[in-house]
Structures are given as structure tokens and as C-alpha cells.
Amino acid sequence: MNDDLLVEVRDRVMHVTINRPERRNAINANVLAGLMQALENAGKSREVRAVVITGAGDSAFCSGADLREPSFRFDYSEPHQWLADLLRQSRRCLVPLIARVNGACLAGGMGLLAMCDMAVASPNAVFGLPEVKVGVFPAQVLSVLQHQLPRRVLTEMCITGETIDAQQALAYRLVNHLAEDDLDAKLDWLLARLLDKSPAAIRRGLYTIKQIEAMPFEASMAFTESQIGLFALTQDFQEGMAAFIEKRRPNWSGR
């Protein structure tokens, strides 16, 4: 994408790396624009089966907005702001997003983590919302974090600005897995568990999960009733059933 954000597709996975280790992989305008373009490209591609987001080096995943740049100088004539639009876009993305948390995950970095569908983390990773220390609050990030952390834990993190460690993040289910020593080995293990599954089922499944999250029970049931029949109309379903009966590995078309 640009020098601040590196994008590479290999083995059906788009690897997106914030490449600002000297600034602890803080978000600037280039990073933001690159992330939004990467998600758009992944969503349009039937070849990309997952997107991995990480930071360069081994000390920081993302430390949030770069405070040395005009991150908080908004154009208040615009109703939508930069990070909010990225979080909105992540909700529309139907390709699995995986955070590879290789170090400090702070402030807006917590937003990047929370917008992902799954996360693996290094045992030395730390997580925090330190915005109160500079006189602001993680307002936009709350929209994606409120369903992932217990209310009292989230409140404490927001109003104290103090961090939690990787073991606490795992206990709170903020991340799916901790690597014992090799972060990439754990990431590859997780990717292997999804890359052999039906792309069509995953795509429609993520759509369903994201649609029902804020629905009342009866509305959720009505929506999912309408969806299950559509799953059964896909080519992947027909192939999956045939492979099951014939006792062979399915050959997914993603349709």
C-alpha cells in the first residue's frame, strides 16, 4: 500500500503490517487509508480467505493514534471521523479478520484488535486504554469493545488508563489464543483450521453473526430462520454433502 502499511497476499491470506516500529506502529493518515483500502480489496476478492493484521517488529502491535500528527484535528463539518469509518468498514467485511498481537496494543490499537473476528497474542503483549492520561477518552473504541470485555473491566481500563497483561486478556476472552513461544506457529495453526472450510459458509456466516449481534431475540430468530435456507442453496453446501457421503475431502468453489 505505502511505506507505512505493508500488504502481501500469500497462501490465500492477506497479511497487513503497520510498518512504523520507530513510532510503536502508531496510526497516521497513511496507515488509516491503507487499512481501509486493504479491507475493501479483501472483501472484493474470492481468492483472499483471511486477513491478518499486525505490527512490524516485536514490541508493539499498535500504540493508537500518532499524537505527534494531527490525529485529533477533525473536520467537524463531516459527520463521520477516520477511525469510526474504519470500524464501520470492518463490520461490513465478510472475510475473517485475525489480529496478530505481537506486543503493546493500546488506545486505537485496541480498536483494531476489537474489530477483528479472532486474535492470537504473544505472551509479552499488553493491552490498555490510556487515553485519560492525555485528557481524552476511548469513545469510538467503546463501540467495538463493549461486547468483548466485561463491563467492570472495560470501565476500569477506561478510567484508570492502566494496562492488563496477555494472561488477563486471555481470561477476559479479549484474545482467542496465546502463543507459548512462536507467535507465527500459533497463527498458522489457527489459519489452517479455517482455510480448509467452506468459503461460502464462512462469508454468509460472518454476515449472519454481525447482523444479529444487536437484535432482540425474536428478531434474531426470524432473521436466522430466513438465512439457513440460503446456506443450503450454495454450491459449497452441495459439495460438502457429497464429500461427506463419499468420505472424501471437499473441493470448495466458494459459491
pLDDT digits (tens, 9 = 90+) for 34-87: 999 999 999 999 999 999 999 999 999 999 998 887 655 656 666 667 789 999
Whether 200 and 240 have beta carbons less than 8 Å apart is answered as no
Q: Do residues 18 and 140 both lie within one domain? A: yes
Residue 45 has which C-alpha cell?
476478492
Q: Do residues 100 and 182 both lie within one domain? A: yes
Residue 219 has which C-alpha cell?
428478531
Q: Do residues 61 and 112 both lie within one domain? A: yes
- Structural domain boundaries, residue 118: 5-195
Q: Do residues 233 and 186 both lie within one domain? A: no
Strand-pair category, 5-10 with 13-18: antiparallel
In the block, cell 463531516 appears at 78
Residue 82's pLDDT is 77
What is the pTM for the complete model shown? 0.92
